[in-house]
Structure 1
Amino acid sequence: MSSATTAQPVHPVQVPTGAPVPTAADRLFLVLIAVCTAVTAANIYLAGPLLPLIAHDFGSTPSAVAWIASVAQFGYATGLLFFAPLGDRVNRRPLVAALSVATTAALLAGAAAPGTAALAVAVFVAAAATVVPQLLVPLVAERAPAHHRARHVAAVIAGLFTGIVAARVVGSLVGQAYGWRVVFIGSAALTLVLGLATAYVLPSEKRRGSGPLFAGLAALPGLVRSSPDLWRACLRQAGMFGAWSALWTTLALLLTGGSYGFSTATAGLFGLFGLAASAVAPLAGGFVDRFGAGKVVRSAYALAAVSVPLFWLGGHVLWALFVAAIAVHAALVAAHVANQTLALTTTSTPATANTAYVVAGFTGGALASSLAGPAFSHWGWGGVCVVAGVWLVIGWVSTATGARRR
């Protein structure tokens, strides 16, 4: 498989005269994919808001089990490496169905876990198999008209972030009322139904690549090296997603701890601020189509930089936490729309490029959240904010200096 870049980066697009208008069937197809993406993406974040309940069930403390949330992100990154590149080579219908069944089985195993070790294994497997959204996003980009491509990608990303928020809000409320194990069972049922329904409506595809099935995995390093735009999108999203993950995966520890003393259900309602920010996705898609990806990413980083001191202030002042939660979600969503659209359109192998992009983002998120738990234990909420700020600096400075060298 060639790793040469043949597609063009996302720049402002002129709308062609007589451009095709999406049909009702196209819109319904997009809605179903967005809903499936929401349900499957939620599986990666189930454990985060439930940490206090999990700790109580296993006779531990929330900070002592915070690492389980990081396990999910490492599992997702692992699954992406092996499964997402297959979107360039195999029929996605049976692959989506098989992964949905595997995720369901792992979630049910997690619901029955007798301890933290068994739960961590189940969470890792479930996250590794729940890579369906990243098989669907390249398909959406392929089917979309060029002048609406970022808007279509944004619709799926909006579904993804709605799922992330739902994992916190609905998971916290249901977990508080019925226990964390019921949340895992309910997510397993939704994953099975939506995953199989989506697989049923996907177009049938023939194998499109030659050579070994996992050749896309071997092509990843060369693909990233040969595409400066993909390289920058990977690192900038790793920095942005790492900052968000550090703050968001430990927020329940702050809200249920001594500073505020909220219940798990009340803490979960903070996800509603993220849901409000998810409305940014369609706007960001329009801005990318009109002004280009670079301007949108720069604006997103500026907004994220403002949110970090607001989060620090939010350790003592509730209104600052409200504003910071909206700001950091809006920044993450806007950056994700711009960076992922760039990753999908800058090479001739979009599924493999998308794999590199999402693996980079989730690896950055997993590393940051794995540091955030110990930082909270040793230095409190201020330590978490420092981790988030460092990740933003790394994500931006590393790509800015690299761009000057190139």
Structure 2
Amino acid sequence: MRPSDVLGPRSPAAAPARANGLFLLLIAVCSAVTAANIYLAAPLLTLIARDFGSTPSAVAWIASVAQLGYAVGLLFFAPLGDTVNRRRLVGILTLVTTLALVASAAAPGTGALAVAVFVASGATVIPQLLVPLVAERAPAARRARHVAAVIAGLFTGIVGARVLGGLAGQAFGWRWVFAGAAVLTLALGLATAAVLPTARRARSGRPFSGIAALPGLLRRSPDLWRACLRQAGMFGAWSAVWTSLALLLTGAPYHLSTATAGLFGLFGLTSSAVAPLAGGLVDRFGAAKVVRSAYLVAGVSVPLFWAGGRALWALFLAAVAVHAALVASHVANQTLALTTTDTPAAANTAYVVSGFAGGALASAAAGPAFGHWGWGGVCAVAAVWLGVGWGGTAVRRR
């Protein structure tokens, strides 16, 4: 037992610090659970195709529908963090997401499943309502570290969706994966809503006026639009390879089961380990240097992914590299986006919508590329998206 356990906190600030730590932990866990909903379909494509009498490549578009739905949800709901009661908004979105996940589990065909997945992904934007709140509450010298803690939770959820989703889908069927996600989302979403502050920032205009203001916000802030373009390129490259990976692993030359292919997502735990380190580097050296380094690592991962079409060890290295690059870039760019304007929720909306739009487009391109040119076509899509993002990185402010 420590002396502080007997004598009480050493300073008046100790108890609030512990409370803030628990608050940050709950937000990180909630972000993990809700972010997983966007990627539930990706490791289950083979099972879904088998159930509906189709082929995995023919249903791969459902994974991109999820990302597109998330981008649309962000566009409409994330700016509301500047104007409405976050507690009420998180509660409502939790209920909508839960109902959509239940509908996904009961979908009679691919069309109904795609609609339900789109709605579930559009409503599960809770993490991006919480990140601006964390940035506002964090001390300036540790802001990137606090943002990184939530991002670590978010990427842990993404990894969990692939690993646990694949295992549970193989054992119980893909429908039970969506049903289980509904239960977790309801529990964590309502628990988080209950502890959120009720105060809201007073702003003029209608609730959805923030959407119309986004283009002007990007024009006035070169740092913001540069962060948006950088992350769209990085996230698109990651999405192209990661949403198509199950197609490679369950087909020739590997012929792995859905559960075994899902275990490959454990390499994504790299992101959870890198996020706190990236936050410290951003606080110390600035966002630009971290993003440049991340793009260099991502550039190395593309030829490794290409070699992974025949060599499993290359896929191992590529998975570690691309996750490290993605999360480092994300921590740096999102911290910059949250601090470059006086409307953090709107700026965060522009940033995350850009990233997920880039990811959705890359995923949509990766499916046909895999069908026509195999795994090499997917790697080419990733390279193109990195080239677009790097072009944005290379532009200097006048």
State TM-score, norm by structure 1: 0.94
Matches within 5 A, 1:262-341: 262-341=256-335
* Equivalent residue letter for 2:102: L
Deviation at 1:276, TM superposition (A): 2.9
Residue among 152, 164, 173 paired with 1:170: 164
SS at match of 1:342: helix
Deviation at 1:172, TM superposition (A): 0.2
Aligned equivalents of 2:216, 2:270: Cα separation in 1: 39
SS at match of 2:71: helix
Q: Which region of structure 1 is more displaced relative to structure 2, 207-216 or 352-361?
A: 207-216
Q: Aligned residue for 1:236? A: 230
Q: Aligned residue for 1:374? A: 368
Aligned equivalents of 2:43, 2:96: Cα separation in 1: 23
Residue among 102, 108, 114 paired with 1:114: 108
- Cα distance per residue 1:306-334 (max 9 Å; x no partner): 00000000000000000000000000000
Aligned residues: 386
* Equivalent residue letter for 1:225: R
Structure 1 stretches of 5 or more lacking a match? Answer: 1-17
Deviation at 1:277, TM superposition (A): 3.4
Say whether residues 1:214 and 2:208 are aligned partners. Answer: yes
Matches within 5 A, 1:10-29: 23-29=17-23
Q: Aligned residue for 1:191? A: 185
* Equivalent residue letter for 1:68: I
Say whether residues 1:137 and 2:159 are aligned partners. Answer: no
SS at match of 1:191: helix
- Cα distance per residue 1:210-262 (max 9 Å; x no partner): 21111111110000111010011000000000000000000000000011000
Aligned equivalents of 1:30, 1:165: Cα separation in 2: 20
Residue among 55, 62, 72 paired with 1:61: 55
Matches within 5 A, 1:154-165: 154-165=148-159
SS at match of 1:279: helix
- Cα distance per residue 1:87-107 (max 9 Å; x no partner): 000110000000000000000
CA contact (8 A) 2:86 2:200 kept: no
Residue among 44, 61, 69 paired with 1:75: 69
Q: Aligned residue for 1:353? A: 347
CA contact (8 A) 1:90 1:209 kept: no
Distance of aligned partners of 1:346 and 1:206 in 2 relative to their CA distance in 1, 3 Å threshold:
closer
RMSD: 1.1
Aligned equivalents of 1:206, 1:77: Cα separation in 2: 24
Q: Aligned residue for 1:10? A: none
Aligned equivalents of 1:155, 1:139: Cα separation in 2: 13
Aligned equivalents of 2:271, 2:230: Cα separation in 1: 20
- Cα distance per residue 1:266-300 (max 9 Å; x no partner): 00001100113321000000000000000000000
* Equivalent residue letter for 1:228: P
CA contact (8 A) 1:73 1:127 kept: yes
CA contact (8 A) 1:277 1:327 kept: no
CA contact (8 A) 2:155 2:271 kept: no
Deviation at 1:209, TM superposition (A): 1.4
Q: Which region of structure 1 is more displaced relative to structure 2, 267-276 or 371-380?
A: 267-276
Deviation at 1:207, TM superposition (A): 5.4
- Cα distance per residue 1:194-214 (max 9 Å; x no partner): 000000000111452121111
Aligned equivalents of 2:123, 2:170: Cα separation in 1: 27
Aligned equivalents of 1:140, 1:382: Cα separation in 2: 40
Q: Aligned residue for 1:12? A: none
Q: Aligned residue for 1:403? A: 396
Aligned equivalents of 1:185, 1:56: Cα separation in 2: 19
Say whether residues 1:150 and 2:176 are aligned partners. Answer: no
* Equivalent residue letter for 2:109: G
Identity fraction in percent? 78
Q: Aligned residue for 1:387? A: 381
Deviation at 1:398, TM superposition (A): 3.3
CA contact (8 A) 2:156 2:271 kept: no
Distance of aligned partners of 1:96 and 1:181 in 2 relative to their CA distance in 1, 3 Å threshold:
same
Aligned equivalents of 1:81, 1:108: Cα separation in 2: 24
- Cα distance per residue 1:45-79 (max 9 Å; x no partner): 00000000000000000000000000001100000
- Cα distance per residue 1:337-366 (max 9 Å; x no partner): 000000000000000000000000000000
CA contact (8 A) 1:278 1:329 kept: no
Aligned equivalents of 1:208, 1:313: Cα separation in 2: 54
CA contact (8 A) 1:227 1:347 kept: yes
CA contact (8 A) 1:158 1:281 kept: yes
SS at match of 2:396: helix
